[in-house]
Amino acid sequence: MPSFDIVSKVDPQTLENAVNTAKKELQTRYDLRDTKGGIELDKKANTIQLSSENSMRVKSLEDILLTRIVKQGLDGTCLDFSEEEQASGALVKKTVKVRAGIDKDTSRKIGKLIKDSKLKVDVQTQDEQVRVASKKIDELQQVMALLRGADLGIPLQFVNMKS
């Protein structure tokens, strides 16, 4: 029976390249040239640490990072900017989480969205991915089109297509 998996992943090498190009831009920008702090990637915790003297410069760092992420071909929704800024000494720090995997709430939303479309497909949630199976490949392609048009707040990739 044809099937595919819905996942939400970020390529670590592409993310590292985006952070490195953002660091280079930080060094060359005139308005941010003498800034203390910067951008640091923590691969193990899957976070990016932004730090600068004031919150306005932290916002500039966010814009630089987001621009570089999009230029590298990653989806901008993979970054979670919702965490508040924290003052630590002379610097303002902000931790940006990199979203990876589909959480339970989002997988329920995906399942409900597919079931509401009345397509004859089977939906299974497996850890941090969702498997969709059907007798017809056309229905699977309709599910892909449906999910591409839906705004779920995370980037989705369709992998492991079997026919």
The domain containing residue 18 runs over which residues? 12-98
What CATH code is carried by the domain that includes residue 17? 3.30.70.990
By CB neighbour count within 10 A (0-12 exposed, 13-18 middle, 19+ buried), where does 139 fall?
Answer: middle
Predicted confidence band at 6 (pLDDT cuts at 50, 70, 90)? confident
Residue 64: enclosing H or E segment and its boundaries? helix 55-71
From 83, 98, 113, give the residue that closes a domain: 98
Q: Kindly state whether residues 70 and 89 are assigned to the same domain.
A: yes
What's the pTM value of the predicted model, to 2 decimals?
Answer: 0.78
| pLDDT at residue 57, rounded to an integer | 84
With helix as H, strand as E and coil as C, how does 83-149 read?
CCCEEECCEEEEEEEECCCCCHHHHHHHHHHHHHCCCCCEEEEECCEEEEECCCHHHHHHHHHHHHH
| pLDDT at residue 94, rounded to an integer | 87
How far apart (Å, rounded) are the C-alpha atoms in residues 24 and 121?
47
Q: Kindly state whether residues 76 and 144 are assigned to the same domain.
A: no
The answer to whether residues 5 and 160 touch, using CB atoms and an 8 Å cutoff, is yes
From 98, 113, 146, give the residue that closes a domain: 98
Q: Kindly state whether residues 132 and 93 are assigned to the same domain.
A: no
| pLDDT at residue 81, rounded to an integer | 81
Q: Kindly state whether residues 155 and 139 are assigned to the same domain.
A: yes
Count how many domains the chain has.
2
Predicted confidence band at 153 (pLDDT cuts at 50, 70, 90)? confident
How far apart (Å, rounded) are the C-alpha atoms in residues 28 and 34?
10
Q: Kindly state whether residues 92 and 33 are assigned to the same domain.
A: yes
pLDDT digits (tens, 9 = 90+) for 71-110: 988 888 888 888 777 777 778 888 888 888 888 888 888 8
Lowest mean pLDDT among 70-79, 81-90, 140-149, 151-160: 81-90
Q: Residue 102 corresponds to which tokens in the numbers above? A: 């589909």
What CATH code is carried by the domain that includes residue 137? 3.30.70.860
Q: Kindly state whether residues 44 and 58 are assigned to the same domain.
A: yes
Q: What is the mean pLDDT of residues 43-48?
A: 88
